[in-house]
């Protein structure tokens, strides 16, 4: 019977996906107290309940081991240099530091006092070796005294020695093999795997300088990875999702952090070489080329009467734009503004999108009133309309919506909301034009604003989400934290704070497009997510209208697949323009001529003008990239990109 129970227990363990948490280490003690002082250390254990406490060791002129991050005490209100001051002189100083709006006072802490606190609170000490007298890459003559102190305090089996000085680590592991050691690094982890394995130590890597592939390279050699410094839920989820097992924090509360899902390292996809994509402009209308259609939407009242046409949905190369303050639906194509079967009838809401089957979906509830109201046009047909009403589980103003699947079919589809003030996504499942249910995601890393949006990948369990100025985050059955979430910049190819993005695949590579042009003027960068987020293409801005012309604070992108190696990409930026591009590998896709194409090609040409990327106009081509704008006698225009 005992054998049977043991077999059952083992089978449960094998089939279980383990949930876990990393070890948390208080950076310089904690955020509550002057850094590296007794108060900070005690609060790290008592308030935050960290598993370990990190400190920085230095040596005084009279050979005492004290804790100070810098060579001097200036950062905390002192005026002494540690190496040239005695312990008594340092202890006479009073330090002050304001953190989180609270001003703390304290005094220098010795290593002996710190070790006593660690022992009393049952936390492990993490001692960072700074370049100090007798503790540095060239001279470790003062380390034996520190080691004796660690042993005398009964912490030899718990202490972690941390430093970026490789010779010092080799000295410690040679003479004190019982001490656990970590290699403090940023990008230095790359190429250090075999060295770490040889010396039986692990890396502690700066957040932002590694990814899951870096962690896997150590994991495959039987080593764990630590990270510093983790101070937000999003970062915790992101680096935790990479398999980091120890995190150094200033003020993260471990008990508030969710458990993490175990990683199947065999499922981690290999890093591919960056894809070489080409991007050709099929047509472009933009402010810089001075070829915008008459009355093109703009936030500048003197430029247009359409001041609220913020978002575009695209189908078969036609841009559908809703000017919600006048409930006017406008369409644009290769020849400029084109008539539509809706007779200009739009809705009173921002949100407009197509699902994967080409059903046009418009919000029609003003500023997201409850219940929510949507109008669905089957296949984009103005004469086949369905009204849908629902109530979100987590209501809030939702300016921008997206959709996937086929909301008019038996299998159904989803419309995605990221409501203002909420930390969850709501997906409205619609089957044959009727609401079946509203699905709520797990908690997300950031709180939505009115400028929040969902980019679906594979239904409501797998999507990218964004809030303006907060980057892009990944959800895959649970929140995975940062996706493209580095600090915003106005210099391409860095992520800009604008709303907008697109996820797609070409030639087996997962690609993500994000806004990278400055000041809400359009422009984007494509990253190869299968190649460690390598930037593989950057497109300049469409114009220079800024926030005045584009109060939506975003640029809108849509993708229509052609085949495995080609897609059509569409860009709409209020006040600045719109464009159609072909993104491809290998040779460009050449559409087969149609009757419509033949008619367009036979139109009489009135004039041809060339524009360079700086917006300069000429009757003859410039050297390099040219946008060719052809004006026909019937008043229509077309544009394309050529090289000279």
Asked if 31 and 79 sit in the same domain, the reply is yes
The domain of 637 spans 595-644
* pLDDT recorded at residue 598: 35
**Residue 13 domain flag:** no
Beta carbons of 408 and 376 less than 8 angstroms apart: yes
**Residue 452 domain flag:** yes
Asked if 507 and 387 sit in the same domain, the reply is yes
Q: Percentage helix, strand, coil, to 5, in the chain?
A: 20, 35, 45
Asked if 323 and 290 sit in the same domain, the reply is yes
Q: 164 pLDDT exceeds 50?
A: yes
Asked if 586 and 599 sit in the same domain, the reply is no
Number of domains the chain contains? 3
CATH number of 488's domain = 2.120.10.30
Q: 536 pLDDT exceeds 70?
A: yes
**Residue 145 domain flag:** yes
Strands laid side by side in the 372-377 sheet: 352-354, 360-363, 372-377, 385-390
Asked if 260 and 282 sit in the same domain, the reply is no
Q: pLDDT above 70 covers what percent of the chain?
A: 90
* pLDDT recorded at residue 412: 97
* pLDDT recorded at residue 19: 80
* pLDDT recorded at residue 625: 65
Asked if 348 and 330 sit in the same domain, the reply is yes
Handedness of CA 615, 621, 622, 624 (dihedral sign): positive
Asked if 199 and 298 sit in the same domain, the reply is no
* pLDDT recorded at residue 631: 74
Average pLDDT over residues 39-56: 98
Beta carbons of 210 and 242 less than 8 angstroms apart: yes
**Residue 271 domain flag:** no
Q: How far is CA 386 from CA 362, 372, 377, 439, in A?
A: 11, 14, 6, 21
* pLDDT recorded at residue 253: 97
Average pLDDT over residues 384-402: 95
**Residue 483 domain flag:** yes
pLDDT higher for 386 or 368? 386
**Residue 370 domain flag:** yes
Instruction: Pick the last residue of a domain from 202, 233, 265.
Output: 265
Task: Please enumerate, as own/partner, the contacts of 367-374 that have beta carbons within 8 Å and a separation of 24 or more.
Answer: 367/397, 368/395, 368/396, 368/397, 368/398, 368/399, 368/419, 368/420, 370/395, 372/417, 372/428, 374/415
Paired with 405 in beta bridges are 413
pLDDT higher for 117 or 517? 117
Q: 55 pLDDT exceeds 50?
A: yes
Instruction: Work out the pLDDT band at 491, boundaries 50, 70, 90.
Output: confident
Q: 614 pLDDT exceeds 60?
A: no
pLDDT higher for 469 or 440? 440
Instruction: Pick the last residue of a domain from 203, 237, 265.
Output: 265
Asked if 600 and 517 sit in the same domain, the reply is no
Q: 77 pLDDT exceeds 50?
A: yes
Asked if 242 and 284 sit in the same domain, the reply is no
Q: 302 pLDDT exceeds 50?
A: yes
Asked if 557 and 634 sit in the same domain, the reply is no
pLDDT digits (tens, 9 = 90+) for 166-191: 999 999 999 999 999 999 999 999 99
pLDDT digits (tens, 9 = 90+) for 552-573: 889 999 999 999 999 999 999 9
* pLDDT recorded at residue 4: 32
CATH number of 67's domain = 3.20.20.190
- If you average pLDDT over every residue of the chain, what do you get? 91
pLDDT higher for 613 or 172? 172
Q: 2 pLDDT exceeds 50?
A: no
Average pLDDT over residues 19-45: 97
Q: 601 pLDDT exceeds 70?
A: no
**Among the listed residues 482, 497, 412, the one whose alpha carbon sits nearest the alpha carbon of residue 451:** 497
Least confident of 81-85, 343-347, 429-433, 443-447: 343-347
**Residue 3 domain flag:** no
Neighbours of 190 (CB within 10 A): 14
Asked if 300 and 429 sit in the same domain, the reply is yes
Asked if 213 and 134 sit in the same domain, the reply is yes
Instruction: Work out the pLDDT band at 469, boundaries 50, 70, 90.
Output: confident
Instruction: Pick the last residue of a domain from 265, 293, 323.
Output: 265
**Residue 498 domain flag:** yes
């Amino acid at each position: 019977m005992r054998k049977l129970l043991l077999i059952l227990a083992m089978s449960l363990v094998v089939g279980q996906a383990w949930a876990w948490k990393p070890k948390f280490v208080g950076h310089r003690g904690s955020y509550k107290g002057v850094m590296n002082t007794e108060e900070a250390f005690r609060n790290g254990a008592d308030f935050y309940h960290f598993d370990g406490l990190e400190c920085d060791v230095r040596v005084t002129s009279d050979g005492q081991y004290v804790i100070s991050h810098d060579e001097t005490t200036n950062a905390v209100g002192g005026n002494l240099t540690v190496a040239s001051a005695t312990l008594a002189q340092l202890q006479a100083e009073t330090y002050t530091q304001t953190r989180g709006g609270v001003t703390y006072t304290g005094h220098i802490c010795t290593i002996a006092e710190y070790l006593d606190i660690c022992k009393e609170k049952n936390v492990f000490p993490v001692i960072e070796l700074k370049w100090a007298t007798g503790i540095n890459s060239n001279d470790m003559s003062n380390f034996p005294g520190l080691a004796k102190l660690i042993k005398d305090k009964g912490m030899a089996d718990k202490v972690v020695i941390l430093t970026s000085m490789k010779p010092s680590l080799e000295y410690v592991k040679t003479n004190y093999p019982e001490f656990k050691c970590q290699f403090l690094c940023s990008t230095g982890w790359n190429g250090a795997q075999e060295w770490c394995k040889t010396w039986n130590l692990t890396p502690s890597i700066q957040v932002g300088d590694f990814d899951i592939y870096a962690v896997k390279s150590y994991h495959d050699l039987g080593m764990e990875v630590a990270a510093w410094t983790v101070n937000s839920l999003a970062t915790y989820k992101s680096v935790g999702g990479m398999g980091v097992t120890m995190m150094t924090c200033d003020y993260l509360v471990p008990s508030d952090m969710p458990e993490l899902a175990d990683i199947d390292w065999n499922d981690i996809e290999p890093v591919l070489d960056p894809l070489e994509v080409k991007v050709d402009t099929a047509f472009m209308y933009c402010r810089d080329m001075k070829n915008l259609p008459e009355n093109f939407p703009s936030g500048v009242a003197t430029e247009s009467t359409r001041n609220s046409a913020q978002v575009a949905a695209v189908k078969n190369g036609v841009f559908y734009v809703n000017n919600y303050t006048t409930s006017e639906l406008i369409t644009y194509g290769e020849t400029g503004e084109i008539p539509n079967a809706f007779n200009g009838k739009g809705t009173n809401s921002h949100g407009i999108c197509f699902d994967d089957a080409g059903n046009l979906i418009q919000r029609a509830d003003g500023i997201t009133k409850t219940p929510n109201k949507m109008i669905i046009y089957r296949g984009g047909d103005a004469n086949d309309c369905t009204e849908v009403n629902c109530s979100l589980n987590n209501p809030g103003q939702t300016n921008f919506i997206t959709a996937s699947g086929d909301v008019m079919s038996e299998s159904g589809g989803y419309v995605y909301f990221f409501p203002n003030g909420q930390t969850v996504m709501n997906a409205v499942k619609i089957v044959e034009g009727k609401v079946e249910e509203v699905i709520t995601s797990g908690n997300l890393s950031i709180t939505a604003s009115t400028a929040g949006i969902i980019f679906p990948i594979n239904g409501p369990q797998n999507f990218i989400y964004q809030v303006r100025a907060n980057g892009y985050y990944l959800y895959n059955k649970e929140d995975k934290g940062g996706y493209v979430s580095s600090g915003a910049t106005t210099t391409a190819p860095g992520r800009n704070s604008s709303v907008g993005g697109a996820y797609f695949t070409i030639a087996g590579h997962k690609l993500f497009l994000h806004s990278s042009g400055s000041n809400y003027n359009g422009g984007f960068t494509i990253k190869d997510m299968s190649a460690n987020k390598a930037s593989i293409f950057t497109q300049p801005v469409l114009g220079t209208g800024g926030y005045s012309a584009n109060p939506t604070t975003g640029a809108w992108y849509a993708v229509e697949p052609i085949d495995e190696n080609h897609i059509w990409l569409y860009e709409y930026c209020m006040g600045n323009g719109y464009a159609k591009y072909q993104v491809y590998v290998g040779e460009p896709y050449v559409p087969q001529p149609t009757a419509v194409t033949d008619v367009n090609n036979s139109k009489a040409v009135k004039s041809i003008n060339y524009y360079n990327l700086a917006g300069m106009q000429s009757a003859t081509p410039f050297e390099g990239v040219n946008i060719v704008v052809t004006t026909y006698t019937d008043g229509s225009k077309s544009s394309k990109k050529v090289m000279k």
